[in-house]
Each structure stands twice: as C-alpha cells, then as structure tokens.
Structure 1
C-alpha cells in the first residue's frame, strides 16, 4: 500500500486540526487513498471524545483560562494537547482487514518508532473497565491502559481513538513528548482518575523534538510513504468543529 504523507511543522487550532482529519477520512472513503498525517496543536488544546458528556467540564474555568477546546469526531476520553506529536491515519478498512486489526497494526508501528528512539515500548495486554464504569468515574484518555495500546514501563505514552465512515476509518492520537495531563483535572467538574501517562522525555531522560519523532514514525511505517499536499477541508467543516453547538452538544 502506498501512503500519502502530510507532515506539518506549523501547528493549527483544535477546530482546524479536526477538520483536516475529517477531510482525510472523507477523501479516503471516496478515493481509497491512505494517509499518514503528523502534526501538532497551536495553541495548546483540550479535546474531548465525540460522546463525552459536556457537563463534565467547567466552561467558566475554561473561558477564564482562555483554553482552546474541540470535540473530536472520534470517541475516547479527554486529551490535553500541548507538547506532543499528533498522528492521524485515514485509510480503507480493508488495508488492515478490520478496525481492531488496524488499531493493533498502527500501534505496532508507533511502538517500533519509539523503540528506535531508545525506549522499551510494548503493547498493553489488559482490557479496560466497562464503559459504564467510566461514565460514573470519568477519566482522561491516559488514565487507564487498554489492550493494544502503546506502553512504556506499564504507562501510556500514546492515546488513540477511531471512527469509521463507509469503507474507511480515521485513527488519530497523541504521542506525549513532555508535560502532563493535569489541565484536564483543572477544568473538570467531577473527580478524574489519575493520569497513568508517561512522556518520551521522562523515559529517555532527554528532550525529544517533534521532527525526531516524526522521522522515527516515517522510518518505522514500512510501506511506501510519499509526501503530498493536504486536501483542504470545506470551510463549513472547520466552522462545525469550532461551533459551541458541537463542542458542548452532550
């Protein structure tokens, strides 16, 4: 499979990034192309999962802190995007033979990239608690390791989520370079489970750059990867992801 690579040195807002990822998903569903996108957020952003209850978060505190907030098109839990490499994969489901296979295969490639940097990355074996439990005890994306997720010393270094559209899927996630997920707790109305995250800086004992990690991912990808221009999303798509009616809809 030939992959089209989008590598962005300049960060974008949460709404712009989600619109781009959604555009890649739509393009993949229509044309059958496969995309690998590497990017980051500017300014830092709180993203929440598509189905998370909005009332978990204190809008007044978020406004007071001047935070960028976006609701993702994918599921999962909240992520604080600050010092990270964000990846997105949009491809036909048939490339991997199913969504579960895709989740595992993508994480295997990301784990290989992290190992090439010097960290002993493995895939988790344990299943997370039932979703009904998480609804009553909300947690950030990085609080609870699940089967197939990328771990270093038993702690999550990557948090990922998926969504399907027709014959294609989108999987995107955060590879933590440094920092914490404490901002999620700071703007939450309910107690959150403590983050079980670690960062590449913590496990390697040195600063790791965006470009260093991006290079490692591209090298570990295996399939042919060629640079491409990013399909521009319709302006209505960015407007949708920036609209309060979408962000605070649940």
Structure 2
C-alpha cells in the first residue's frame, strides 16, 4: 500500500558512494533492517485491554481520540463500549444536511444523541450493539492494512466460538480492496460490506473504520446486536412513526444483528469477554477477559492517562460547531 520514498541511484561523494542498484548500508541505531535496507515495521507493545464502559456519544469519541494519542506514544490499546443514550454518529468529513444545521441532537431523533467521529465514512446508528476501539502505533503490527485484517480475523474467531455462522471473507487483492473500500466509504456505513468486513447471510454484521494521526492508528467499529440502521439514514426524510415501526422489524436491510444469528442471544458480558480475549491475544497479550485485564497495573495507569486526555477532547465533541460543521 505504501510508497517506498528512498532515493534511488548512487550517492554523491566518496564516503557515501555505493554501486547503483544497491541500497546504502543501514545507519546505526536505525533498528531492524530488511534485506533491501528498508526498516521493518516494529512489533507493537502487548495489547492492554481496558474495562467495558457505557457513555454518551461525546464521551465515547473523546476516549477513542485519547486512545489514538496514546497510540502515537507507543501504546497498543483495546476497549469495548456501549452507548447511553443511543447515538447517531457522522463521519469526520461528512457534511451535515442543510435541514439539520443549527438544530440540537434531540431535534434530529427525540431521545437520541449525535456526535461526529474522528474516522471517515457516513452515518452510523449506535443502538443495540457492542462497539470496539483498537489503537496502536501506525507502523506497528504490520501497518494499517495488517491491523485491519488481524482485528477482523480475531473478531471472526471470537464470533465463531460463540456459534455465529459468518460468511467466508472475500479474498480481494490489496489494490482492489482499497479501491472498493474508498468507494463504499462514500455511501452509508452499513449499506454495503467493504472487502474483508464480517458478514452473515450476505448482510453486514461488523462495520469498521480507521484513521491515522501523528504516528498513531485508531480502528473502531460496531458489532450489531440488532439492526436499527434505518434510524441513522440521513439521506431521506425524518423518520416518522411508520418508518420507526418498520425499522424495528429485522431481516429486511443490508445489515444483520446477532439476535438473528444466535438463539438465545448470549449475555453481553460473555460476548465482550470472548471477543476481547481473541483480539488481545492476536496483539501480544496473554488470555484474559475484558473484566479482568492480564496486566491490571498497566490498565489502571492507561485509564488514568485516558481520563485526562479524554476530558480535553470531550469539549470539542460537545461543540455544535464541530458536530454540524460543513
């Protein structure tokens, strides 16, 4: 995916001269070097699992932004969370429709919050779901594409262990996957599955997005317990009583919830523990449920830093200027 920006051709001057076609010798202290002289992507620090929490939209996005900042400093972090009240999130660069400008989130959907994500894409309705957030240094663990694949693979393993009949992941090549993901990001998040996203019965179960900033990488996504995504569609008119009732009916949209795939639906704590265990172990942590992190002292120290950073970001996410920006 990336472009090798190393200079080609011979270096000027005797002391730096080497034959054309050969890479210059590695500098001391440059870290691991591949056979071609390019620095290898470093292995990230073991994943720290943070406790499950429920919060409103501004607080959840503020904590995710704090995770991104800590990732730039070298941390690998994972958390699962919920939404109270339910929330409509807009993509970072998504334009708010004219009819919503200057209105409060409660005007949009009575009793429903609204927030703008740090990641791109279009609107997502966060109702009955389990949301995950993973952050790490952008060059760690193989880089963004490898992280996307590893997180989805670990989530798939956890879901399969719970008995979820997932579809086979499409094996598109890297360039095709990136191109299709960019195309789909211009539509609603759950309207079409992007390559390597998790689906069941041909419908999207998990929707994810990434962003990078100052050397940090954040990936977060929704694991639907029920499909209520019609309530987050900003392209149509306001949802009335009839449409709201219709949205309650499962099985008619492009998305699918775990309630249609598992009977009975397991307790949410069990789902979180199973998924957290698989993802954390994929990124260097020993087996441990989310409720009891493998390294409690690291989790406590990280949580303290997160609280401090999240307080700063929360002011931004509660700003109407940020939420409804054009």
TM-score when normalising by structure 2: 0.68
User: Which of the pair has the greater relative contact order for Cα pairs under 8 Å at 6+ separation?
Assistant: 1
Q: 1:49 to 1:58 in 2, by over 3 A?
A: same
- The Cα RMSD (Å) is 2.5
- 8 Å CA contact retained: 1:56, 1:190: no
Is 1:7 the counterpart of 2:83 in the alignment?
no
- How many residue pairs are counted as aligned between the two chains? 242
- d(CA) in 1 for partners of 2:121, 2:180: 13
- d(CA) in 2 for partners of 1:21, 1:158: 18
Q: Which runs of 5+ in 1 are unaligned?
A: none
- d(CA) in 2 for partners of 1:81, 1:57: 21
- d(CA) in 2 for partners of 1:151, 1:181: 15
Q: 1:214 aligns with which of 265, 272, 280?
A: 272
Alignment of 1:51-70 (within 5 A): 51-55=93-97, 58=100, 63-64=106-107, 65-70=110-115
TM-score when normalising by structure 1: 0.87
- Structure (1 or 2) with the larger CA radius of gyration: 2
Q: 1:199 aligns with which of 257, 274, 299?
A: 257
- d(CA) in 2 for partners of 1:210, 1:217: 11
Q: How far 1:53 sits from its partner (Å)?
A: 1.3
Q: 1:44 to 1:117 in 2, by over 3 A?
A: same
- 8 Å CA contact retained: 2:77, 2:136: yes
- d(CA) in 1 for partners of 2:98, 2:154: 34
Deviation track 1:180-228 (CA, whole Å, cap 9, x = no partner) reads 212113x54469xx84111111011322332121111123122315341
Q: Which runs of 5+ in 2 are unaligned?
A: 1-44, 239-251, 287-293
- 8 Å CA contact retained: 1:48, 1:70: yes
Report what 2:215 is aligned to: 167
- d(CA) in 1 for partners of 2:185, 2:70: 33
